[in-house]
Structures are given as structure tokens and as C-alpha cells.
Amino acid sequence: MALFERLYSQGHEEVVYFSDPTCNLKVIVAIHNTILGPALGGTRMWQYSSEEDALEDVLRLSKGMTYKAAVSGLNLGGGKAVIIGDPVKDKSEALFRSYGRFIESLNGRYITAEDVNIGVSDIDHIYTETNNVTGVDIAHGGSGNPSPWTALGVFRGIEASALKVFGDRSLDGKVVALQGAGSVGCYLGELLHKAGARIYFTDINEKNIERFKEAAPNAEFVGVNDIYDVECDIYAPCALGATVNDETIDRLKCKIVAGAANNQLKEPRHGDILRQKNILYAPDYLINAGGLMNVSIEFEGWTDAKARRMVDTIYDTTLKIFKISDEKDIPIYQATDFLAEERLRSIKAIKGSYLGNLGHRFPGRKNRHMH
Ligand code: NAD
């Protein structure tokens, strides 16, 4: 498909390619939608096998950010960036500072943050050249690690799901099968443990397994492939996407699927199958939005209390989506998109009228008359 056809069909506003041969920088920034505010989304660094793959990834991810911000009630648009390169060999101060200067040239339309293979020290170099970056170190006035906030949001989503399925938000005595004891998984394990849940977990990384056992001492380890067969109330995917697929869906013995991983359903039809099986699926891009919520308050001055208040709203929004799903008799993944699209439509509509202050909008014209 030709590029503009592709952008039109998915609704992207802008795609920018930045290159700087002096430091080997190759980056694509995609701004999907700015109806609600500046496009915020992280930068991913990856050795893509082709430029086409990199473009495909950034288009898909930036659209996802529009929906995540919209459904979370944030005044942010959707954007994302990909740096094409080897994160082990190609990182340098010059590369990130050059990238920061390019971000600055977008004049605030795009704000970046961490994503896969981009850490706080890389963000600090970007921050040297532009203010349009979040996820900055707490020492420099930023909001630090987003993972505990993502975990808290997932925990709220699980509580809302428990209320819907069991009539009580308490997780005391509930059995959880948690896949992926990484940054988010480990914080989530700690919250679940404190709430009295019984946890079965899996991972492939020894260090993370040990750390998880310290965070949730009652948790029992199961094999990587056995996690789908655990008799449980809640399956919490916190490792990879697409784990609800043709191979796993008949093995799941849970009543709720709710976790941090992005794009848990391999295909939309797996959301339909979960519904037929009477398994409640918590909307993934809403319940894992705690990290985004956390960085979104960085510009107004981050505090722990503000972040907590915002992330706690995930509980009510999750319930609202369950209600839409029931009322409209549609699967939850469709109800989540519906809520996001409804907000985008309604906010776009109020921006239709002229607000006056011509001088402000065309300062050059005003100045000509003045001088
Ligand atoms: P992470 O890399 O710290 O943790 C992922 C964990 O999954 C690792 O411990 C890894 O060893 C494990 N893993 C990988 N393959 C596995 C397998 N086949 N079976 C079991 N475990 C496996 O990542 P994270 O930051 O904790 O993020 C977890 C998920 O949540 C990702 O899908 C990420 O995209 C999503 N997410 C994270 C955030 C955030 O704030 N970090 C925000 C939104 C969404």
C-alpha cells in the first residue's frame, strides 16, 4: 500500500524520519493523533530487519498510544518513535542528544519517554537537548521508574474484574497464575501477596525468579509451559503479547484474564472466544496505563499522591467498560475501543468553533499593522 494511503487508512497525522550520519542516528517518529493533546509515547531501539518493519512497528505502536491515552482520560495524543540500531553497540551520548535536538524541532507535538531498550540514562541525554521528554530521573525532577505504577493499575483492574465476576473486589484467597516476573510482574506479585492472593508464577530468568520469591514469599513456581494449565481464578500475563491464542485458549482454567502485557489477544477473535467461554478479559491497554499516567503528570510537577490518585481511576474505568460491554452486548475489547473513540469524537467536536484572538494566531499580520 502506498504510504499516504496507509496513513489515511489508520488515521496518522505525521511521520518524520530523522537522520544524522555523524552519530549513526536513524529514527522514525510517528504522530498518530493529537486531538486530545501532544502525542506522548516512548522510543524503542531495535535492530529491525528492514526499514519497512520499523515503519510498520511505529505506525502500530503510535496508534495504540492514542487509544491508551484516550480511554485513560488523559489529555494526550498518541505517538511513538523507533531508533533503528543495535542497543548494545550503537548507543552514544551524541546519538541521544542529536535525537533530542530533532524532538525539539517538533515544537512539542511529540513527547518521548522510555520504551524497549531505552533507559533512564538515555533519556537524560535527550533531556539535555529538549524538555519534550518524560520518564526523567527523579533526581532531575522526573517521575522515575513507571513499572510500580503500571503494576498498581493492573492490580486495580484485577480488583474491578473480581468485583464483576465474584461480587467482591477483595483478592484474599484468590488464585492467580502470573506469567513474567519482570519489572511489572514483580511489583504486581508483591501487591497480590499483600492482598492475600495465592500465586503461581513462571519466568525464564533466574534472577527475576529469585527476586519474585522475595517479593511474594508464598508464590509457587511452575514451568514456563505449565502456566496455562493452572487451575486459577485469574491468569495475569505480564511477559509477552499474544499469549491468548489458538494453542492456549482451551487450556486456560481461569475466570479472568488481566495482566500488564500489551496486546494479549493474538487476534480480536480470541476476545470473542473468551467471552463465549465466560472468561472475563480486562481491557489490557487500559489496565496497563498506570505507567503512562505517571509520566503524564511530570510536566505539572510529579508527586506520589497525584500519581496514585490518577492510577486508582483505572478501577472505575474498567467497571465502566464492563458496563458498556453488557449494555451493548459486545466483547470487552470492542467496548474499550468504543470508549476511546467516543472520547476522541466528542473532544474533536467541541474544537470546531473559532475562538477569536486573530492577532494571537497570526502574529506576523498583527505586527505589520503595529509597526
Ligand atoms: P520486563 O522485561 O521487565 O519483564 C518481562 C519478564 O517476562 C522478564 O522477567 C522475562 O524473563 C519474562 N519472560 C520473557 N519470556 C517469557 C516466557 N516465555 N515465559 C515467562 N516469562 C517470560 O518487562 P516489564 O517492564 O515488566 O513489562 C512486562 C509486560 O508489560 C510487557 O509486555 C510490557 O510491554 C508491558 N507493559 C509494561 C509497562 C511498564 O511500565 N514497564 C507498561 C505497559 C505495558
- Asked if residue 371 has pLDDT above 50, the reply is no
Query: Is there a domain that residue 209 lies in?
Result: yes
Cell numbers for 291: 505507567
Mean pLDDT for all residues in the chain: 94
Query: Is there a domain that residue 368 lies in?
Result: yes
Residues 223, 107 share a domain: no
Residues 255, 306 share a domain: yes
**pLDDT at res. 362:** 52
Per-residue model confidence as pLDDT tens digits over 68-98: 999 999 999 999 999 999 999 999 999 999 9
Query: Residue 301 — pLDDT band, cuts 50, 70, 90?
Result: confident
Query: Is there a domain that residue 142 lies in?
Result: no
Q: How many domains does the chain have?
A: 2
| CATH number for position 111 | 3.40.50.10860
- Asked if residue 30 has pLDDT above 80, the reply is yes
Residues 209, 238 share a domain: yes
Query: Residue 53 — pLDDT band, cuts 50, 70, 90?
Result: very high
- Asked if residue 150 has pLDDT above 70, the reply is yes
Query: Is there a domain that residue 5 lies in?
Result: no
Per-residue model confidence as pLDDT tens digits over 223-274: 999 999 999 999 999 999 999 999 999 999 999 999 999 999 999 999 999 9
Cell 476476545 belongs to 271
Distance 68 CA to ligand 1 centre (A): 18
Catalytic hit among 26, 63, 80, 164: 80
- Asked if residue 364 has pLDDT above 60, the reply is no
Residues 156, 203 share a domain: yes
**pLDDT at res. 369:** 41
Query: Residue 145 — pLDDT band, cuts 50, 70, 90?
Result: confident
Residues 265, 196 share a domain: yes
Residues 196, 129 share a domain: no
Higher confidence at residue 235 or residue 135? 235
- Asked if residue 368 has pLDDT above 60, the reply is no
Instruction: Give the atom of ligand 1 at the shortest distance from the alpha carbon of 224.
Output: 19
Nearest residue CA, atom 20 of ligand 1?
Answer: 203
Residues 280, 161 share a domain: yes
Pairs from 141-148 (Cβ < 8 Å, separation ≥ 24)? 141/302, 142/298, 142/302, 143/294, 143/295, 143/297, 143/298, 143/302, 143/307, 144/120, 145/120, 145/183, 146/113, 146/114, 146/290, 146/291, 146/292, 146/294, 146/295, 147/183, 147/184, 147/187, 147/291, 148/187
**pLDDT at res. 154:** 98
Residues 296, 220 share a domain: yes
Span of 25-34, 139-148, 191-200 with lowest mean pLDDT = 139-148
Span of 133-147, 239-253, 281-295 with lowest mean pLDDT = 133-147
Distance 288 CA to ligand 1 centre (A): 12
Half-sphere exposure of 146 (CA within 13 A, CB side): 28
**pLDDT at res. 138:** 85
What is the 8-class DSSP label of residue 132?
-
In this structure, is the dihedral angle defined by the CA atoms of residues 295, 312, 191 and 155, taken in order, positive or negative? negative
Query: Is there a domain that residue 70 lies in?
Result: no
DSSP 209-239: HHHHHHHSTT-EE--TTTGGG-B-SEEEE-S
Cell numbers for 212: 519474585
Distance 180 CA to ligand 1 centre (A): 6
Residues 221, 196 share a domain: yes
Query: Residue 142 — pLDDT band, cuts 50, 70, 90?
Result: confident
Residues 54, 203 share a domain: no
pLDDT mean over 118-129: 95
**Strand stretches in the chain, DSSP E:** 14-20, 25-33, 39-40, 43-46, 77-84, 110-111, 175-179, 198-202, 220-221, 234-237, 256-257, 280-281
Distance 332 CA to ligand 1 centre (A): 23
Percent of the chain past pLDDT 70, that is, above it, reads 96
For the CA atoms of 251, 256, 261, 262, what is the dihedral angle to 10 degrees? 100
One-letter amino acid at 11 equals: G
- Asked if residue 183 has pLDDT above 80, the reply is yes
| CATH number for position 229 | 3.40.50.720
**pLDDT at res. 143:** 87
pTM: 0.92
Residues 175, 122 share a domain: no
- Asked if residue 370 has pLDDT above 70, the reply is no
Span of 13-17, 135-139, 161-165, 167-171 with lowest mean pLDDT = 135-139
Pocket of ligand 1 (CB under 6 A): 146-147, 150, 179-185, 202-205, 208, 224, 238-241, 260-262, 288, 291
Query: Is there a domain that residue 2 lies in?
Result: no
Residues 357, 320 share a domain: no
Query: Is there a domain that residue 269 lies in?
Result: yes
Q: Is 80 tagged catalytic?
A: yes
The domain of 210 spans 147-329
> Which distant-in-sequence residues (6+ apart) come within 8 Å of 333 by Cβ?
265, 268, 271, 281, 283
